[in-house]
Amino acid sequence: MKSLQKCRYKQIEKIFVERYKDAKTELNYKNLYELLICVILSAQCTDKRVNLITPALFKSYPNVYSLSKASLKDVKELIKSCSFFNNKAKNIIAMAKQVVDKFNGEIPLNQEELKSLSGVGQKTANVVLLEYCGKNLMAVDTHVFRVSHRLGLSKASNPESTEKDLNRIFKQNRAILHQGFVLFGRYICKAIKPECKECFVYDFCKYDNKMELK
């Protein structure tokens, strides 16, 4: 039974790696500072919305030094169309101040140090590290969580435990799998009305409500 399960996992991994080996985040950024801001803003918000917000934000505050001295009211105004903009505005300003005061203006590329910054949790830290540094990490957002459960890769009730399950199954290619699961979940394995006819892992799907193909 275990050998069959391992074979199944290997097949899923192979399919996703082949399809998404060159995939990158859909967030628009030019440097580490912009990437970190984008990922913080993207929590419970679409990448498309973040990409509409950030050009004006980065024009006004192009680095951690300028953002650390920013007016909270001004930042809120710039990102007001983003979900939870009040908290996010406070967090990104606080994050910038921490980077300036504790890290001499250099955003750390260490998981624990990144997580010490305001607005940065496990998922955000991992996304930054796998995207910017190519680290062999898995980050679990809503898309990765949904895809992992529908494919029977995890039964965990929270992202942290789901990440542990995925890390146990996949020892390599985690960054590619993360990007693949995100894009697959965003465009094919949607939360509502998944595009089952377009699904390339339909035979592996354990979702009770998947469409019956004829």
Q: What is the mean pLDDT of residues 84-100?
A: 97
Q: Which CATH number fits domain 2-23+138-204: 1.10.1670.10, 3.90.550.10, 3.40.50.300, 2.60.40.1510?
A: 1.10.1670.10
Phi/psi region, residue 79 (left: phi>0; alpha: psi -120 to 50; beta: rest), is alpha
**pLDDT at 53 > cutoff 80:** yes
Instruction: For residues 21-35, give the mean pLDDT.
Output: 95
pLDDT of residue 209: 81
Q: Model confidence over 107-132: pLDDT tens digits? A: 999 999 999 999 999 999 999 999 99
**How high is the pLDDT of residue 2?**
67
Catalytic-role residue among 2, 6, 141, 210: 141
CATH of 32-132, picked from 3.40.50.10420, 3.30.750.24, 1.10.340.30, 3.30.70.870, is 1.10.340.30
User: Residue 141 is encoded by which pair of tokens?
Assistant: 């957002």
Q: What is the mean pLDDT of residues 140-169?
A: 96
What CA–CA distances, in Å, run from 76 to 54, 121, 124? 12, 21, 21
Q: Is the pLDDT of residue 140 over 90?
A: yes
Identify whether 141 is a catalytic site residue: yes
Q: What is the mean pLDDT of the chain?
A: 95
Crossing angle between the packed helical segments 142-150 and 174-187, to the nearest 10 degrees: 90
Is residue 163's pLDDT more than 80? yes
Identify the active-site residue in 47, 123, 171, 190: 123
User: Distance of CA 190 to CAs 12, 180, 181, 187, Å?
Assistant: 18, 13, 11, 6
pLDDT at 5: 86
Is 125 in contact with 114 (CB distance < 8 Å)? yes
Predicted pLDDT of residue 208: 85
3-state secondary structure (DSSP) of residue 67? helix
Is residue 13 scored above 80 in pLDDT?
Answer: yes
Q: Please, where in the chain does CATH 1.10.340.30 lie?
A: 32-132
pLDDT value at position 210?
83
Query: Which percentage of the chain shows pLDDT scores above 70?
Result: 99
Domain boundaries for CATH 1.10.1670.10 within the chain = 2-23+138-204
pLDDT greater than 80 at residue 48:
yes
Q: How confident is the model at residue 214 (pLDDT cuts 50, 70, 90)?
A: low
pLDDT exceeds cutoff 80 at 33? yes
